[in-house]
Amino acid sequence: MSQLGLGVCLGIVLLIVAVSRYFALMKDVREAAREQALKDEKYRQVLEQAKAVEHEEKVKKAQSGHIPSILSLAKENEIGNLRVALGWYQKAAELGNEIGQNALARLSRQDVDDPHGEAKSRYWECLVKSNNNEPEALFELGRFEIRGYGTAINTTSGVGHLIKAAEMEYVPAQLFLGDWYVVESNPTPSPRRAFFWRLKSAVNNDAMGCIKVAYCFQTGVGATRDRRRAIYWLEKAAELGNLEAQYLAGKMHLNNDQPVTNVTDAAVAYIWFSVAFASGYLDAKKERDTAVQHVGIESILNVQKVAKQIYKYLHNPPVPVHSTMDLLDKMYDRSKYRPTDAELDAALGRINEDIDVDSAVQTNPDPSASRQGNGSQNTAKKDWSGEMIAAESVSSA
Q: What is the C-alpha separation between 323 and 327, in angstroms, rounded?
A: 6
- Give the up-direction half-sphere exposure of residue 177: CA atoms within 13 A in the CB hemisphere: 29
Say yes or no to pLDDT of 310 above 80: yes
Say yes or no to pLDDT of 348 above 80: yes
Query: Is 352 exposed, middle or buried, given 0-12, 13-18 or 19+ CB atoms closer than 10 A?
Result: middle
| Residue 374: per-residue pLDDT | 39
| Residue 361: per-residue pLDDT | 58
pTM for this entry: 0.77
- Mean pLDDT, residues 6-34: 82
Name which residue leads in pLDDT, 53 or 69.
69
The answer to whether 274 touches 288, Cβ cutoff 8 Å, is: yes
Say yes or no to pLDDT of 250 above 60: yes
Q: What is the C-alpha separation between 152 and 150, in angstroms, rounded?
A: 7
Say yes or no to pLDDT of 227 above 80: yes
Q: What is the DSSP letter of 338?
A: -
Nearest to 236 by CA among 264, 202, 285: 202
| Residue 24: per-residue pLDDT | 83
Say yes or no to pLDDT of 381 above 50: no
Name which residue leads in pLDDT, 255 or 221.
221
Q: What is the C-alpha separation between 340 and 343, in angstroms, rounded?
A: 5
Grade residue 369 by pLDDT with cuts at 50, 70 and 90.
very low
In angstroms, how far apart are the furthest CA atoms of the chain? 159
88: Cα separation from own chain's centroid:
27
- Mean pLDDT, residues 257-263: 59
DSSP annotation string for 164-206:
HHHHTT-HHHHHHHHHHTTSTT-SS--HHHHHHHHHHHHHTT-
Max avg pLDDT among 34-38, 52-56, 99-103, 379-383: 99-103
- The region of weakest confidence among 207-211, 249-253, 293-297, 327-331 is 293-297
| Residue 56: per-residue pLDDT | 83
- Mean pLDDT, residues 27-35: 84
Name which residue leads in pLDDT, 252 or 390.
252
Grade residue 261 by pLDDT with cuts at 50, 70 and 90.
low
Query: Is 85 exposed, middle or buried, given 0-12, 13-18 or 19+ CB atoms closer than 10 A?
Result: buried
Say what percent of the chain tops pLDDT 90.
63
Nearest to 384 by CA among 229, 193, 182: 182
- Alpha helix ranges (H) inside the chain: 3-63, 67-77, 82-94, 98-107, 117-130, 135-147, 155-167, 171-180, 191-203, 207-219, 227-239, 243-253, 263-279, 284-291, 297-314, 323-332, 341-363, 367-372, 375-383
- The region of weakest confidence among 50-54, 63-67, 239-243, 298-302 is 50-54
Say what percent of the chain tops pLDDT 70.
88
Query: Is 59 exposed, middle or buried, given 0-12, 13-18 or 19+ CB atoms closer than 10 A?
Result: middle
Q: What is the C-alpha separation between 269 and 250, in angstroms, rounded?
A: 4
> In sequence order, which residues have a C-beta less than 8 Å from that of residue 167 and are 6 or more positions away?
none
- Mean pLDDT, residues 63-77: 93
- Mean pLDDT, residues 343-353: 92
| Residue 363: per-residue pLDDT | 54
Residue 262, classed as helix, strand or coil, is coil
Helix axes 323-332, 297-314, angle to 10 degrees: 170
| Residue 32: per-residue pLDDT | 85
Grade residue 284 by pLDDT with cuts at 50, 70 and 90.
very high
Q: What is the DSSP letter of 280?
A: T
